[in-house]
Structure 1
Amino acid sequence: MDKFGGLKHLFVTIFMSQLAIFVVTPAMPDVTMMLLCPAQDECSLAIYLSGFQQAIVGIGLVVMMPIIGNLSDVYGRKALLTVPLTLAIIPPVILAYRRTKKFYYVYYVLRTLTGMICDGGIQCVALAYVADHMSQAKRASAIGILAGVGSAAFVCGTLADHFLSTSQIFLVATIASTIAVVYMQIFLEDTARVEEYPIEEQPILRNNEMEDTELDCETAKNIKVFNRVPSLKDIIFFLRKSHTFSLAASVAFLNSFAEGGEQAPFQYFLKARFHFKKDNFADVMLIANICSATSQLLLMPMLAPLIGEEVLLCLGLITGFTNLLIDSIARKIWIPYTAALLPISTSLVKPSIQSIVSKQIGPSEQGIAQGCISSISSIANILSPFLYSPLTALFLSEKPPFRYPGFSILCVGLAWLIAVIPSAMIKVITLVSRQ
Structure 2
Amino acid sequence: MLDEKFVRRGLFLVFVILFLDILGIAIIVPVLPTYLEELTGADISEAAIDGGWLLLVYAAMQFLFAPLIGNLSDRFGRRPVLLASVLTFAIDNLICALATSYWMLFIGRVLAGISGASFGTAAAYIADISHDGNRAKNFGLIGIAFGSGFALGPVLGGLLGELGPRVPFYGAAALSFVNFILGVFLLPETLDRANRRRFEWKRANPLGALKQMRNYPGIGWVGFVFFLFWLAHSVYPAVWSFVSSYRYGWSEGQIGLSLGIFGIGGALVMGIVLPQVVPRLGEWRTAVVGLTFTTLGAVGYAAAWQGWMVYAVIIATALESLADPPLRSIAAAHVPPSAQGELQGALTSVASITTIIGPLIFTQAFGYFTSAGAPVSFAGAPYALASCFLVGALVVFLLKIPRSRAVGPQGEEAAEVEDIPAIEKAARGELTRMPGN
Give 1:326's match in structure 2, choosing from 300, 305, 313: 300
The aligned amino acid for 2:30 is P
Q: 1:95 to 1:113 in 2, by over 3 A?
A: closer
Q: CA deviation at 1:68?
A: 2.7
- Supply the distance in 2 between the matched residues of 1:233 and 1:31 (Cα, whole angstroms): 35
Q: Which one is further off, 170-179 or 157-166?
A: 157-166
TM-score (norm 1): 0.72
- Supply the distance in 2 between the matched residues of 1:74 and 1:357 (Cα, whole angstroms): 29
Q: 1:42 to 1:341 in 2, by over 3 A?
A: same
- Asked whether the 8 Å contact 1:77–1:129 carries over to 2, the reply is yes
Fraction of identical pairs, as percent? 20
- Supply the distance in 2 between the matched residues of 1:307 and 1:185 (Cα, whole angstroms): 46
Q: CA deviation at 1:76?
A: 3.8
2:58 is paired with a residue of what secondary structure?
helix
- Asked whether the 8 Å contact 1:145–1:297 carries over to 2, the reply is no
Q: CA deviation at 1:259?
A: 1.5
- Supply the distance in 2 between the matched residues of 1:31 and 1:126 (Cα, whole angstroms): 31
- Supply the distance in 2 between the matched residues of 1:174 and 1:249 (Cα, whole angstroms): 36
How do residues 20-419 of structure 1 correspond to structure 2 at under 5 angstroms?
20-37=24-41, 42=43, 46-47=47-48, 49-94=50-95, 99=98, 101=100, 105-106=103-104, 108-119=105-116, 121-135=117-131, 139-164=135-160, 165-166=163-164, 169-192=168-191, 196=195, 228-231=202-205, 234-243=208-217, 245-264=219-238, 278-299=252-273, 312-330=286-304, 333-341=307-315, 344-350=318-324, 360=335, 366=341, 369-385=343-359, 387-389=361-363, 409-419=383-393
TM-score (norm 2): 0.71
Structure 2 match to 1:15: 19
Q: Deviations over 1:149-190 (max 9, x none)?
A: 222123333333354444754443223112223333444444
The aligned amino acid for 1:293 is A
1:335 is paired with a residue of what secondary structure?
helix
Q: CA deviation at 1:282?
A: 3.1
Q: 1:392 to 1:95 in 2, by over 3 A?
A: closer
Q: 1:160 to 1:54 in 2, by over 3 A?
A: closer
- Asked whether the 8 Å contact 2:155–2:259 carries over to 1, the reply is no
RMSD across aligned positions (CA): 4.4
Q: Deviations over 1:61-88 (max 9, x none)?
A: 2222233334444544334323322210
- Supply the distance in 1 between the matched residues of 2:207 and 2:168 (Cα, whole angstroms): 44
Q: 1:94 to 1:411 in 2, by over 3 A?
A: closer
Q: Which one is further off, 422-431 or 43-52?
A: 422-431
Q: 1:371 to 1:32 in 2, by over 3 A?
A: same
Q: 1:394 to 1:74 in 2, by over 3 A?
A: same
- Supply the distance in 2 between the matched residues of 1:362 and 1:19 (Cα, whole angstroms): 33
2:315 is paired with a residue of what secondary structure?
coil
The aligned amino acid for 2:171 is V
- Supply the distance in 2 between the matched residues of 1:9 and 1:20 (Cα, whole angstroms): 16
Q: Deviations over 1:4-48 (max 9, x none)?
A: 9462222122112222222233334434433443xxx82677555
2:204 is paired with a residue of what secondary structure?
coil
The aligned amino acid for 1:113 is V
- Supply the distance in 2 between the matched residues of 1:138 and 1:388 (Cα, whole angstroms): 39
- Asked whether the 8 Å contact 1:256–1:378 carries over to 2, the reply is no
Q: CA deviation at 1:224?
A: 6.3
- Asked whether the 8 Å contact 2:225–2:397 carries over to 1, the reply is yes
- Asked whether the 8 Å contact 1:73–1:194 carries over to 2, the reply is no
- Supply the distance in 1 between the matched residues of 2:286 and 2:60 (Cα, whole angstroms): 30
Q: CA deviation at 1:285?
A: 1.4
Q: 1:48 to 1:337 in 2, by over 3 A?
A: closer
- Supply the distance in 1 between the matched residues of 2:330 and 2:365 (Cα, whole angstroms): 33
Q: 1:115 to 1:161 in 2, by over 3 A?
A: closer
Q: CA deviation at 1:278?
A: 4.5
Q: CA deviation at 1:247?
A: 4.0
